[in-house]
């Protein structure tokens, strides 16, 4: 598996430059954490990879396929191989756990079978296996809105993993969770990825979590990569470059603050879509202010 | 990995899956029965819409001679005037009815009597009321005013009575404890609590009354509706469309005004 | 003003400007009322006889003619059919219209305005006017009535449903799309579950309204119990009229109960 991103740029209609030419390539099955203050462009970057946000310029190649040149059908096929886990879980609240997990198989069934919830038996078996793995056995018929935050994010992980992706993109998986649950979720995520040999790209602004769980760190500041190297090499000056001038949010209290910041900064972002949605309600990442 | 295959079926809101199928089957059967009862076979519907398309040419473009335009304007003003008068009379009459229909303020027999009146007013369509009133008092806007007033009382006093039932009795008691008379208690303890919603509801009902006043004429109760019926009966469909455009315009303006006023008030 | 001291607490909520505003409001209402009354030129003598005339009518309705019931069962069932079929037809048309008229699911600005136009025209024209139109198209009979009911309901359902669609959480939709789902799958998995309670609730509510509306279609020849009622009124058979009204009242109350119960059930 290779993901090659070159010179990725994103300028929102409002004129905000979220990404100013990002190069990144991921090989093998390492866990890469992308750190940076709120508004550095982390979310935009991840969302550009599977084109939930349409990039302005640059190339994205997944195993040699140029994702940017794909038409709608091609893009749907490519997306089947990209598992995505969201900050606010983004589960379909009124559906059951099982239905949410099986959402990950939608790319493989017809609209009519999907409507009747009649998935192939091996998909159902696979879903059960993953639910066992993430510790949600016996919960398949619970409605998602009855679950706790940690349980929801486990469903989110299961939904992404059941796709049998070649890469997992994870957008701030812990910002809606308490510190302890955050740690459990991160461990689960990296373990599952290792078991399946799938590389993970995680957006995270909690540096301590990144250092604990990732093999490699990418530091983003104001739309540009300012650090890229093994976790061991991340020193104070590198952190200083990423969070220029500000204190890196390491302690629990400052984490709470940045989490809240990030929450409201991404509301507009979630509405920036493609396909069915065309009314252009795109809002850029908030300008770097919260963390820096 | 376990070798046994696990299957999954979506849980159903019904107690058993059979019930679900029975319910859906029953519903489909009912609709088929309805379609049969109404005589809606697909061929006829298609044919109808086919002839509808060719009729479309008869309806468009909207057209009215100067005399007809004048008639539209005159009768439309009559409609609006009817709506104005009956909104005011309707609301004025609603106030006593609402107080008598509020469970916490009214003695039981009076309560049931007024609730019955409200249910009756709400259950009968405005056209049915109009047709009866026309028989009683004769053709013309007076019948329309009585009709719309009657409907307004049903709508308004129900909502107002519910508001009255929800009021904070403690402040009413506070007023009463000073030795205020029943009327004073109403004015000082009850009225201030319901006034804000009252204003919004009045405007909302005025909006509904404008709509009603444009149709009661079809059964002879005054306003633009009578012109519309005449146009239909004379097969002058372009004139019909002109009248419809006028009605839609007035209804939209009323809706806009009502929305703006209500937003201001909240 | 014996209670002035205590009541002052309640009155404090209104300052002078709002009190003035309310006074002006009442004044305007009164002027409009008087102006409209003068315009309609009905005189007062005319009004004085109204209570007697209505009283007269009511007394002639009593007692209701129970023997007439067998004759109204058929038209009554037809009325219920018209309401059911009209609602079902409306639902089929409404779903695409609502998707067009919702800002977040419409393909482009032109389709958005098309959706809005359909909703507005449908809503602004009363059921009985639609019935007049469709009697021309389909000829007299219940089919014209059912189509009229459907056309009026599309606006109501389309407006409320599109507002509901605009309120959905788009993150859920996006996650489904990110898994590689097709547009139709995105609708059935991402959008539909979120608006389903509203969809069911609104349809049942509109069905309830449609039962009431179906009772009048007969006046313009579009079927239902209105035909019977119109005939009885024109024949001055007031006791039969009273019986029909009672039956209508019963049906309306039942449908209101069913509608309220179903809406409570689907949450």
Which parts of chain B sit beneath pLDDT 70? 1-5, 265-266
C150 — pLDDT class (breaks 50, 70, 90): very high
Residue C205: closest CA among C215, C193, C216, C213? C213
Best of B73, B119, B126, B127 to substitute, by most chain C Cβ atoms within 10 angstroms, is B127
- With an 8 Å Cβ cutoff, is C107 touching chain A? yes
Encoding tokens for residue C233? 């009124």
Write the burial class of residue B5 (CB in 10 Å: 0-12 exposed, 13-18 middle, 19+ buried): exposed
- Helix H or strand E segment including C15: none
State whether residue A19 is helix, strand or coil: strand
Q: Would the pLDDT of C117 be above 90? A: yes
Q: Would the pLDDT of A35 be above 80? A: yes
Question: To the nearest whole number, what is the mean pLDDT of chain A?
Answer: 82
* Chain B: touching chains (3 or more CB pairs < 8 Å): A, C
pLDDT in tens, C5-60: 554 455 555 566 777 777 887 788 888 888 888 888 776 666 777 788 888 888 88
Strand segments (E) across chain C: none
B222 to chain C: which residues are within 8 Å by CB? 40
A95 to chain C: which residues are within 8 Å by CB? 189, 193
Rounded to 10 degrees, the C-alpha dihedral C202/C207/C210/C215 comes to -160
Q: Would the pLDDT of A289 be above 70? A: no
Q: What is the pLDDT of residue C11?
A: 52
- With an 8 Å Cβ cutoff, is C56 touching chain A? no
State whether residue A177 is helix, strand or coil: coil
Q: What is the pLDDT of residue C155?
A: 94
Chain B: closest CA distance from residue C86 (Å) = 10
Rounded Cα distance between C121 and C151, Å, is: 10
Q: Say whether domain B66-265 belongs to CATH 1.10.3720.10.
A: yes
Strand-strand pairing, A167-171 and A200-203: parallel
CB atoms within 10 A of CB A264: 11
Q: What is the pLDDT of residue C96?
A: 94
Q: Which residue in the set B1, B5, B11 is minimally distant from A96, CB to CB?
A: B11
Q: Do B10 and A99 touch (CB under 8 A)?
A: yes
Q: Which residue has the tokens 């009597």?
A: B113
Q: What is the pLDDT of residue A158?
A: 94
A291 — pLDDT class (breaks 50, 70, 90): very low
Distance of CA C56 to the CA centre of its chain: 31
Encoding tokens for residue A178? 């308490």
Q: Which residue in the set C106, C112, C183 is minimally distant from A275, CB to CB?
A: C183
> Longest C-alpha distance within chain A, in Å?
56
Rounded Cα distance between C177 and A84, Å, is: 10
Q: Do C42 and B140 touch (CB under 8 A)?
A: yes
Rounded Cα distance between A49 and B226, Å, is: 64
Distance of CA A90 to the CA centre of its chain: 11
Q: Which residue has the tokens 């009585």?
A: B146
* Chain A: touching chains (3 or more CB pairs < 8 Å): B, C
Residue-wise over C185-212: b if at least 16 C-beta within 10 A, else e? bbbbbbbbbbbeebbebbbbbbbbbbbb
Q: Do C233 and B135 touch (CB under 8 A)?
A: yes
Rounded Cα distance between C130 and B228, Å, is: 12
State whether residue A229 is helix, strand or coil: strand
Over residues A97-112, mean pLDDT: 92
Name, in order, each residue with C-beta under 8 angstroms of B149's C-beta and a sequence gap of 6 or more: B86, B89, B90, B93
Rounded Cα distance between B160 and B90, Å, is: 13
Q: Do C230 and B137 touch (CB under 8 A)?
A: no
- Phi/psi of residue A187, each to 5°? -65, -45
Residue B213: closest CA among B70, B71, B81, B68? B81
Measured between CA atoms, the residue of chain B closest to residue C79 is: B38
Q: Would the pLDDT of A167 be above 90? A: yes
Positive or negative torsion for Cα C17, C18, C21, C23: negative
Residue-wise over C240-267: b if at least 16 C-beta within 10 A, else e? bbbbbbebbeebbeebbeebeebbeeee
In chain A, the domains with their CATH numbers are: 1-81+167-273 (3.40.50.300), 84-164 (no CATH)
B1 to chain A: which residues are within 8 Å by CB? 129
Chain A: closest CA distance from residue C186 (Å) = 9
Measured between CA atoms, the residue of chain C closest to residue B41 is: C143
Rounded Cα distance between A126 and A228, Å, is: 36
Q: Which residue in the set C103, C178, C189 is minimally distant from A50, CB to CB?
A: C178
DSSP A213: H
Q: Would the pLDDT of A282 be above 50? A: no
A245 φ/ψ sector (left φ>0, alpha ψ -120 to 50, else beta): left
Name, in order, each residue with C-beta under 8 angstroms of A180's C-beta and a sequence gap of 6 or more: none
Encoding tokens for residue B138? 């004769």
Rounded Cα distance between A62 and A78, Å, is: 9
Write the burial class of residue B156 (CB in 10 Å: 0-12 exposed, 13-18 middle, 19+ buried): buried
Best of C103, C115, C171 to substitute, by most chain A Cβ atoms within 10 angstroms, is C171
Chain B: closest CA distance from residue A244 (Å) = 47
- With an 8 Å Cβ cutoff, is B3 touching chain A? no
Q: Which residue in the set A99, A124, A129 is minimally distant from B7, CB to CB?
A: A124
Chain B: closest CA distance from residue A125 (Å) = 6
Q: Do C177 and A278 touch (CB under 8 A)?
A: no
End-to-end CA distance of chain C: 51
Distance of CA A21 to the CA centre of its chain: 20
A201 φ/ψ sector (left φ>0, alpha ψ -120 to 50, else beta): beta
A136 to chain B: which residues are within 8 Å by CB? none
Q: Which residue has the tokens 């001038």?
A: A245
CA distances from C78 to B53, C75, C130, C168 (A): 27, 5, 18, 38
Rounded Cα distance between C132 and B232, Å, is: 8
Rounded Cα distance between B16 and B89, Å, is: 54
Name the B residues in 6-25 with CB < 8 Å from any A CB: 6-11
Measured between CA atoms, the residue of chain A closest to residue C187 is: A276
A127 to chain B: which residues are within 8 Å by CB? 8
* Rg of chain C in Å (alpha carbons): 25
Strand-strand pairing, A31-35 and A200-203: parallel
Over residues A39-48, mean pLDDT: 90
Encoding tokens for residue C148? 């009229």
State whether residue A234 is helix, strand or coil: coil
Q: Would the pLDDT of A266 be above 60? A: no
B14 to chain C: which residues are within 8 Å by CB? none
DSSP A286: P
Residue C129: closest CA among A205, B126, B166? B126
- With an 8 Å Cβ cutoff, is A5 touching chain C? no
Rounded Cα distance between C163 and C199, Å, is: 11
> Longest C-alpha distance within chain C, in Å?
76
C169 to chain A: which residues are within 8 Å by CB? 90, 93
Beta-ladder partners of A216: A32, A230
Encoding tokens for residue C13? 């909520």
Rounded Cα distance between B117 and B115, Å, is: 5
- With an 8 Å Cβ cutoff, is A98 touching chain B? yes
Rounded Cα distance between C100 and C116, Å, is: 8
- Helix H or strand E segment including A167: strand A167-171
Do A187 and A213 touch, CB atoms closer than 8 A?
A: yes
Rounded Cα distance between B103 and B164, Å, is: 9
Q: If you count residue pairs, one on B and one on C, with CB atoms under 8 Å apart, how many are there? A: 191
CA atoms within 13 A on the CB side of A104: 30
CA distances from B33 to A47, B26, B45 (A): 51, 10, 16
State whether residue A46 is helix, strand or coil: helix
Encoding tokens for residue B89? 């009379």
Q: If you count residue pairs, one on A and one on B, with CB atoms under 8 Å apart, how many are there? A: 20
* Lowest mean per-residue pLDDT among A77-91, A112-126, A224-238, C6-20: C6-20
Chain B: closest CA distance from residue C221 (Å) = 12
Chain A: closest CA distance from residue C35 (Å) = 47
Q: Do C2 and B55 touch (CB under 8 A)?
A: no
Q: Do B8 and A140 touch (CB under 8 A)?
A: yes
Measured between CA atoms, the residue of chain A closest to residue C175 is: A90
Encoding tokens for residue A221? 């500041």
CA distances from A224 to A10, A218, A227, B26, B86 (A): 11, 10, 9, 62, 68
- With an 8 Å Cβ cutoff, is A129 touching chain B? yes
Measured between CA atoms, the residue of chain C closest to residue B251 is: C124
B56 to chain C: which residues are within 8 Å by CB? none
pLDDT in tens, A204-252: 988 999 999 999 999 999 889 999 999 988 888 888 888 875 555 544 4
- With an 8 Å Cβ cutoff, is A278 touching chain C? yes
Rounded Cα distance between C259 and C205, Å, is: 6
Name the A residues in 150-189 with CB < 8 Å from any C CB: 156, 159-160, 163
Measured between CA atoms, the residue of chain A closest to residue C104 is: A277
Rounded Cα distance between B30 and A226, Å, is: 68
Rounded Cα distance between B165 and B99, Å, is: 9
Q: Is the peptide bond before C141 cis (omega within 30 degrees of 0)?
A: no
pLDDT in tens, B15-49: 778 888 898 899 899 899 888 888 877 888 888 88
Positive or negative torsion for Cα C92, C94, C96, C97: positive
C103 to chain A: which residues are within 8 Å by CB? 279
C14 to chain B: which residues are within 8 Å by CB? 192
Encoding tokens for residue C23? 């006074």
């Amino acid at each position: 598996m290779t993901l090659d991103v070159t010179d990725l740029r994103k300028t929102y209609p409002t004129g905000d430059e979220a990404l100013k030419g990002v190069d990144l390539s991921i090989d093998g099955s390492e866990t890469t954490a992308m750190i940076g203050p709120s508004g550095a462009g982390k979310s935009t970057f991840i969302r550009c990879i599977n084109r939930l946000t349409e990039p302005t310029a640059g190339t994205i190649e997944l195993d040699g396929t140029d994702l940017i040149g794909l038409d709608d059908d091609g893009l749907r096929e490519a997306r089947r191989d990209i598992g995505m886990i969201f900050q606010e879980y983004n589960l379909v609240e009124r559906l059951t756990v099982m239905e949410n997990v099986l959402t990950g198989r939608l790319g493989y069934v017809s609209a009519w079978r999907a409507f009747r919830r009649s998935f192939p038996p091996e998909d159902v078996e696979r879903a059960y296996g993953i639910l066992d793995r993430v510790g949600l056995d016996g919960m398949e018929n619970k409605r998602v809105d009855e679950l706790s935050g940690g349980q929801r994010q486990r469903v989110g992980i299961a939904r992404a993993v059941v796709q049998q992706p070649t890469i997992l993109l994870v957008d701030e998986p812990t910002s809606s969770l308490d510190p302890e649950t955050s740690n459990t979720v991160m461990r689960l995520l990296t373990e599952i990825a290792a078991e399946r040999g799938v590389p993970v790209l995680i957006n995270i602004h909690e540096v301590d979590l990144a250092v604990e769980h990732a093999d490699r760190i990418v530091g983003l500041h104001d739309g540009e990569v300012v650090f890229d190297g093994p976790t061991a090499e991340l020193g104070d000056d590198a952190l200083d470059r990423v969070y220029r001038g500000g204190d890196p949010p390491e302690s629990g209290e400052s984490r709470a603050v940045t989490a809240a910041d990030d929450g409201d900064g991404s509301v507009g972002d979630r509405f920036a879509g493609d396909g069915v949605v065309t009314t252009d309600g795109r809002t850029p990442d908030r300008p770097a202010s919260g963390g820096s | 990995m376990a070798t046994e295959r696990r299957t999954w079926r979506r849980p159903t809101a019904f107690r058993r899956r059979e019930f679900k199928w029975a319910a859906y089957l029953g519903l489909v059967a009912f609709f088929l029965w309805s379609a049969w009862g109404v005589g809606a076979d697909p061929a006829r519907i298609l044919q109808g819409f086919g002839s509808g398309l060719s009729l479309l040419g008869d309806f468009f473009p909207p057209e009215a001679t100067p005399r007809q335009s004048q008639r539209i304007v005159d009768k439309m003003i009559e409609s609006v005037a009817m709506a104005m008068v009956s909104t005011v009379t309707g609301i004025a009459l609603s106030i006593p009815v609402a107080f008598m229909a509020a469970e916490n303020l009214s003695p039981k027999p009076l309560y049931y009597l007024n609730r019955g009146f409200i249910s009756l007013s709400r259950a009968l369509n405005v056209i049915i009321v109009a047709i009866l009133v026309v028989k009683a008092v004769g053709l013309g806007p007076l019948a329309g005013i009585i009709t719309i007033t009657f409907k307004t009382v049903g709508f308004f006093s129900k909502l107002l009575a519910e508001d009255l039932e929800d009021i904070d009795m403690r402040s009413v008691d506070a007023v009463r404890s000073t030795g205020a008379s029943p009327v004073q208690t109403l004015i000082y303890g009850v009225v201030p609590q319901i006034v804000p919603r009252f204003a919004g509801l009045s405007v909302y009902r005025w909006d509904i009354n404008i709509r009603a006043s444009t149709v009661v004429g079809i059964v002879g109760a005054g306003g633009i509706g009578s012109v519309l019926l005449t146009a239909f009966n004379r097969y002058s469909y372009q004139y019909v469309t002109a009248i419809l455009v006028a009605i839609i315009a007035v209804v939209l303006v009323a809706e806009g005004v009502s929305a703006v006023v209500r937003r201001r008030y909240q | 003003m014996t209670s002035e001291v205590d009541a002052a607490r309640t009155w404090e909520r209104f300052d002078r400007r709002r009190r003035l505003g309310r006074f002006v409001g009442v004044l305007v209402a009164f002027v409009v009322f008087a102006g409209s009354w003068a315009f309609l030129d009905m005189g007062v003598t005319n009004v004085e006889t109204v209570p007697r005339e209505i009283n007269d009518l009511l007394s002639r309705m009593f007692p209701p003619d129970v023997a007439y019931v067998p004759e109204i069962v058929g038209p009554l069932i037809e009325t219920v059919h018209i309401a059911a079929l009209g609602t079902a037809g409306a639902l089929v048309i409404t779903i695409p219209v609502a998707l067009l008229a919702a800002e977040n699911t419409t393909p482009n600005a032109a389709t958005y305005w098309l959706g809005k136009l359909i909703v507005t025209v449908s809503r602004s024209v009363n059921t009985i006017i639609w019935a007049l139109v469709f009697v021309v198209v389909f000829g007299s009979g219940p089919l014209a009535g059912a189509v009229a009911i459907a056309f009026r309901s599309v606006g109501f359902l389309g407006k409320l449903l599109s507002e509901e669609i605009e309120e959905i959480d788009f993150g859920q939709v996006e996650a489904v799309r990110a898994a590689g789902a097709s547009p139709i799958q995105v609708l059935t998995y991402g959008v539909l579950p979120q608006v389903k309670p509203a969809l069911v609730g609104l349809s049942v509510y509109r069905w309830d309204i449609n039962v009431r509306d179906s009772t009048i279609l007969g006046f313009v020849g579009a079927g239902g119990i209105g035909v019977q009622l119109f005939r009885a009124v024109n024949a001055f058979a007031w006791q039969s009229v009273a019986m029909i009204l009672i039956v209508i009242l019963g049906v309306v109350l039942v449908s209101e109960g069913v509608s309220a119960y179903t809406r409570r059930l689907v949450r």
